[in-house]
Chain A
Amino acid sequence: MCKRIGESLVILSNVSLEINRGDTVAILGASGSGKSTLLGIMAGLDEPTAGKVYIEGMDIFSLDEDGRAKLRGERVGFVFQSFHLLPALTALENVMLPLELAGKRDAREKAGEILDRVGLKERRGHYPRELSGGEQQRVAIARAFAGDPKILFADEPTGNLDSGTGENIIELMFGLNREHGTTLILVTHDAEIARRCERKIRLKSGERIE
């Protein structure tokens, strides 16, 4: 796939890759190498200038934005560098939200269970501002796994955390990944995280070099 802005600015150039179910993949590269753009396109958040993306055999850009949103709701989970928790909601409510959007009746129970699993049993009723960075990211991870996604996209999940906390988060993510059999695709420039992934895709100036 390719992504250009205007005529001259090339962000991704002829990147082609295939990821199998259950893979753990790290996308590596310096700032501005096009990592986040690649992730955004794979997740259907951004459209490529040319090229196609298939998820389980379906060309996701043959769907409109609402169709892709539906697909994301059913099969995809996200973890962001800046957590993106809704500040007006408690930890539990943040985790409940994707379940509620999907119309699940047992949203509260399910969200509670998964919050327990990430070790935040005592923090259910707390608001994001009352949680530390690591705790916020754990809520975000719980939220991402709440809907049993087939694929989890993570955009620099430890980028805003100190190394100790970051390690715990990675531990948790890989653990949940194993338990749920999820495909894990993450963008990072942390070599330690990349080392734990089965596959590495390295970008440089929008081109795949590994």
Chain B
Amino acid sequence: MNELRLSFRLLLRDLRSGELALLLVATFIAVSAMTTVGFFSERVEHALEGQAGRLLGADLVLDSDHPPDPAFRAEAAKKGLSVTDSVKFPSMVSAAQGSVLAEIKAVDQGYPLRGKFVLSDASKGIPPRGTVWVDRKLQVRLGIEPGSQIEIGDAEFRVAGIILEEPEAAFTFMSLGPGLVMNISDLPSTGLVREGSRVHYLLYFAGNPSKIEAYRRWARFGVGRGQRIADAREGSPQLKDMLDNSKVFLRMTALFSVVLSAVAVSLVVRRFFDRHLDGCAVMRVMGATSLRLFRIFLYEFSMLGMAAGILGALAGFLAQKWLASLLSGVIPYDLPAPSIFPALAGVASGLLLLLGFALPIVRALSKVPALRVIRREMILPKGGYAFGLIALLFLFLWQADSVKLGLVVFGGFCFMLLFSASAVRFLLGRLKGGGVALSGLRRRSASSAVQIVAFGMGLMALLSLTLVKADLFRKWQETIPPHAPNRFILNIQQDEIASLSEYLRKNEMKVPDFYPMVRGRLVAINGKSVSSGNYDSSRARRLVDREFNLSWAENQENEVVSGKWWGEEAKGKPFFSVEEGLAKTLSIGMGDVLTFEIAGNRLTGKVTNMRKVDWNSFRVNFFVLTPPGVLQAYPTSYITSFYIPARDFGKMSALSKAFPTLLVIDVSALIGKMRNMMDNALKAVEFLFYFSVIAGIAVLSAAFSSTQDERMKEGAILRTLGASRRQIVSAHLLEFLMLGGLSGLFGAIGATGLGYAVAKKLLDQSFSFDPWVAAAGILAGAIVIPLTGFFWTRKVLNTPPSRVLRES
């Protein structure tokens, strides 16, 4: 108790004198950065998932071809999830002008759990009994208006609204025809859903992410044949990629703030050590045992860490609140409320970080020999960094949420630390001549090395974040280029291609490429028949159960990852080119012999190459291709995709009327939603980046303040010996330029290496070396560091030398 009180008093005294102020600030920044990132990324992650959920109408969907077991519903209710259901089936819809095959969706109260219908009028909820909502395609095809009567099966309905936007955009893309939404209570009256009808029963679930995750784990084992569980990420590979990448980036930004804070903290405790050596020796003389000193300082640092942690967590909370309010205009619904966890994690991380670097120093301080009061030349115990690095590694693995990410970033920084430290030693050892400035660097070689390494790490962090960020932005932008195809036309017959092309030309639309499409089912691999029972993964089972699209191509449009694309000689030969993801899922290897069943016939051939397909491109792509002349004999339809600008949307309705048998799919709503999501993610990422910048400034300040005492003394002596202000300023300038240039160089080298590792190992992107990064690093070092240096050393010039010398 007595010791705690004493520690508290010492803490107050140290704070008052500014000894610990910088440490408080560094830890505060570390914690507030971590907490903000924690709070915000937690909320944004949930929000992004929620937004992705809007593309599904829920967080999780069970899609079943028979009525699902009531246990699915019961368990969800038990877990506190919201549940609703729908039934989907194709049916003819008749109106006064004729009939059209449409996709009917009968929905229950509560649908959709995520997102909403946008209707031509202000209706809300779901269609009241006896009424339906129709989409524009159906409206155009049937020539109906709100108020019109239509027939579905045995029942008659009034059209109550026109659907402009659907909550299940992802399914709109997959479900083909025009659509109609009705109330599930009206379903029996249609008489359409009977044993053996082609019906999908969908159960929708929504709730907080941990409950959803728990439910998903539970449901995985209950999913039987003809059933599958889809979540936002699984439903759309584009979204999955984007969510994964943005998560990696948000986490990585958090880690970089941690590294920078660690650098700042390690610099500040070093200075604390230097400044407290004498005091500790005096206390030892006055009878303090080393254990006592250890405890006193341990308590002092712990109290400091707690204070900084609590303040930082509070600041982090406020920052993310402000950030969330900034985004409120962008994200069209409320972010979920934050939990207390990021705050606790922030405080704990702050303590861990601080004590990790402070404990070795505290231990060294407690062992300072009392004799130092008489003999200044005593060899002193030194605190190491090993403990701090271990604490940092632990923090990394914890905050990274992924061992791979933690290890890549931690390894990158450790390598940088070792590399730059030995390079600086080597260089400073060989430095000759150069007057006061260089001799300053040389004289303070230990602290110069520390500064260069610290600045280098700071620049490395900021540069590599910039690099990875730019790569990520580019990739996201490429995902949906401005003129990405927003219309798909399916079900085009061979003899319709000419007239369709002619129609498009006449209506001033570009004529796209048409791709042949043959539906087939994989029945055997290497002569052994395959069935869904052979596979564990639900995706594999789904692929084997269903027919998928085969096509033929003469020219190579995708990157070939193994084998060789075929030439002229392959024409008519039964070769297959398989998409690598499909091959992996179904365990198909190069040279395997595949047998497909197409329209009752079997086609057997060899896999001669594998392709990488960018499913994000919104182009027409196929899992399996053959050379020309292999599939022509089978029933073939054609598919195409193209972009039309918004002002031409009306032309598409005319097209649908002119070619009533074609299926035109509008993916513009889906693209719009995905663009919106990416913009939000980019904004969040951009903001989090600035935290690392602030942490970087803390590093700069800590590094300069760590040599402040030395510089003050040296400046005073030089001025006493008659050096002019100009001489001291130019000596400093040259020294800072050297420091900045060198650390910029190391930072650029480190950033390039880390950027490479992150792109290759974590984001699965290609990495392009950018010489501008090196230039930017050196330039940033040579401009920012001297400027900050002058800010910190202005005291050297403004304090009378007599005072400096007296105090030292």
Flag if A74 contacts B9 (CB, 8 Å). Answer: no
Stretch of B130-138, B285-293, B739-747 that contacts chain A: B285-293
Contact code string A165-203 (vs B, CB < 8 Å = 1, else 0): 000000000000000000000000000000000000000
Min CB distance B405 to A, Å, is: 42
Flag if A80 contacts B373 (CB, 8 Å). Answer: yes
Stretch of B13-21, B475-483, B586-594 that contacts chain A: B13-21
Flag if A89 contacts B13 (CB, 8 Å). Answer: yes
Residues of A within 8 A of B (CB): 36, 39-40, 43, 45-46, 65-66, 69-74, 76, 78, 80, 84, 86-89, 93, 97-98, 100-103, 127, 129, 147, 155
Q: At the interface, yes or no: B807 with Cβ under 8 Å from chain A? A: yes
Contact code string B273-296 (vs A, CB < 8 Å = 1, else 0): 001001101111111111110000
With A78-B285, A129-B806 given, can you name 9 additional A-B contacts, CB distance below 8 Å? A45-B369, A46-B371, A70-B289, A73-B288, A78-B286, A101-B283, A101-B287, A147-B286, A147-B287
Size of the chain B interface, CB-CB below 8 angstroms: 32
Flag if B287 contacts A97 (CB, 8 Å). Answer: no
A-B contact count (CB 8 A): 85
Complex partner residue of A84 from B19, B282, B807, CB under 8 angstroms: B282
Report chain B residues within 8 Å CB of A73.
286-288
Flag if B287 contacts A45 (CB, 8 Å). Answer: no
Pull 14 A–B residue pairs with CB atoms less than 8 Å apart, ordered by A: A45-B371, A45-B373, A70-B289, A72-B286, A73-B288, A74-B287, A76-B287, A78-B373, A80-B373, A88-B14, A100-B9, A101-B6, A101-B286, A127-B17
Flag if A98 contacts B286 (CB, 8 Å). Answer: yes
Flag if A45 contacts B285 (CB, 8 Å). Answer: yes
Given contacts A78-B285, A101-B283, A129-B803, are A88 and B290 in contact (CB under 8 A)? no
Q: Which residue in chain A gives the minimum CB-CB distance to B289? A: A66
Q: At the interface, yes or no: B613 with Cβ under 8 Å from chain A? A: no
Flag if B373 contacts A72 (CB, 8 Å). Answer: no
Complex partner residue of A97 from B286, B373, B807, CB under 8 angstroms: B286
Flag if B374 contacts A40 (CB, 8 Å). Answer: yes
Flag if B290 contacts A65 (CB, 8 Å). Answer: yes
Flag if A88 contacts B17 (CB, 8 Å). Answer: yes
Interchain CA distance A25-B279 in the complex, whole Å? 28
Flag if B283 contacts A97 (CB, 8 Å). Answer: yes
Q: Which residue in chain A gives the minimum CB-CB distance to B371? A: A45
Q: Which residue in chain A gives the minimum CB-CB distance to B290? A: A66
Flag if B287 contacts A102 (CB, 8 Å). Answer: yes
Contact residues of B: prevailing secondary structure: helix
Min CB distance B370 to A, Å, is: 5
Complex partner residue of A72 from B19, B279, B281, B287, CB under 8 angstroms: B287
- Find residues 344-394 in chain B having any chain A CB closer than 8 Å to their own CB: 369-371, 373-375
Q: Which residue in chain B gives the minimum CB-CB distance to A75? A: B287
Q: At the interface, yes or no: B2 with Cβ under 8 Å from chain A? A: yes
Which of B6, B287, B369, B373 counts the most chain A CB atoms within 10 A?
A: B287
Complex partner residue of B279 from A39, A70, A86, CB under 8 angstroms: A86
Interchain CA distance A127-B803 in the complex, whole Å? 13
Flag if B370 contacts A45 (CB, 8 Å). Answer: yes
Q: Which residue in chain B gives the minimum CB-CB distance to A41? A: B371
Report chain B residues within 8 Å CB of A88.
13-14, 16-17, 19, 275, 279
Flag if B9 contacts A101 (CB, 8 Å). Answer: no
Interchain CA distance A84-B806 in the complex, whole Å? 13
Interchain CA distance A43-B374 in the complex, whole Å? 11
Flag if B282 contacts A86 (CB, 8 Å). Answer: yes
Interchain CA distance A87-B290 in the complex, whole Å? 21
Report chain B residues within 8 Å CB of A127.
17
Flag if A98 contacts B373 (CB, 8 Å). Answer: no
Report chain A residues within 8 Å CB of B373.
45, 78, 80, 84
Min CB distance A157 to B, Å, is: 13
Min CB distance B708 to A, Å, is: 14
Interchain CA distance A39-B374 in the complex, whole Å? 9
Flag if B9 contacts A36 (CB, 8 Å). Answer: no
Report chain B residues within 8 Å CB of A69.
284, 287-290, 370
Interchain CA distance A36-B803 in the complex, whole Å? 29
Q: Which residue in chain A gives the minimum CB-CB distance to B279? A: A86
Report chain A residues within 8 Å CB of B284.
69
Complex partner residue of A101 from B14, B288, B807, CB under 8 angstroms: B288
Interchain CA distance A114-B15 in the complex, whole Å? 26
Interchain CA distance A137-B375 in the complex, whole Å? 19
Report chain A residues within 8 Å CB of B287.
69-74, 76, 98, 101-102, 147
Flag if A87 contacts B807 (CB, 8 Å). Answer: yes
Flag if A101 contacts B292 (CB, 8 Å). Answer: yes
Interchain CA distance A196-B188 in the complex, whole Å? 119
Complex partner residue of B291 from A66, A102, A147, CB under 8 angstroms: A66
Q: Which residue in chain A gives the minimum CB-CB distance to B283? A: A101
Interchain CA distance A65-B369 in the complex, whole Å? 9
Min CB distance A58 to B, Å, is: 15
Min CB distance B85 to A, Å, is: 70
Interchain CA distance A40-B806 in the complex, whole Å? 26
Flag if B17 contacts A87 (CB, 8 Å). Answer: yes
Report chain A residues within 8 Å CB of B279.
86, 88
Q: Which residue in chain B gives the minimum CB-CB distance to A136? A: B806
Min CB distance B196 to A, Å, is: 87
Interchain CA distance A129-B14 in the complex, whole Å? 15
Min CB distance B780 to A, Å, is: 35
Min CB distance B309 to A, Å, is: 23
Complex partner residue of A103 from B2, B17, B370, B807, CB under 8 angstroms: B2
Interchain CA distance A87-B16 in the complex, whole Å? 12
Report chain B residues within 8 Å CB of A45.
285, 369-371, 373-374
Min CB distance A96 to B, Å, is: 9
Interchain CA distance A76-B375 in the complex, whole Å? 19
Interchain CA distance A199-B709 in the complex, whole Å? 43
Interchain CA distance A4-B75 in the complex, whole Å? 83
Report chain B residues within 8 Å CB of A103.
2
Min CB distance A83 to B, Å, is: 10
Q: Which residue in chain B gives the minimum CB-CB distance to A88? A: B17
Report chain B residues within 8 Å CB of A93.
13
Report chain A residues within 8 Å CB of B807.
87, 129
- Find residues 260-310 in chain B having any chain A CB closer than 8 Å to their own CB: 275, 278-279, 281-292
Interchain CA distance A45-B279 in the complex, whole Å? 15
Min CB distance B659 to A, Å, is: 86
Q: Which residue in chain B gives the minimum CB-CB distance to A128? A: B807
Min CB distance B469 to A, Å, is: 43
Interchain CA distance A127-B756 in the complex, whole Å? 54
Q: Which 7 A-B pairs have the closest CB atoms?
A: A73-B287, A88-B17, A66-B289, A98-B286, A86-B279, A45-B371, A72-B287
Report chain B residues within 8 Å CB of A71.
287
Q: Which residue in chain A gives the minimum CB-CB distance to B9? A: A100
Report chain B residues within 8 Å CB of A86.
278-279, 282
Q: Which residue in chain B gives the minimum CB-CB distance to A133? A: B806
Min CB distance A115 to B, Å, is: 17
Given contacts A40-B374, A65-B290, A78-B373, are A72 and B285 in contact (CB under 8 A)? yes
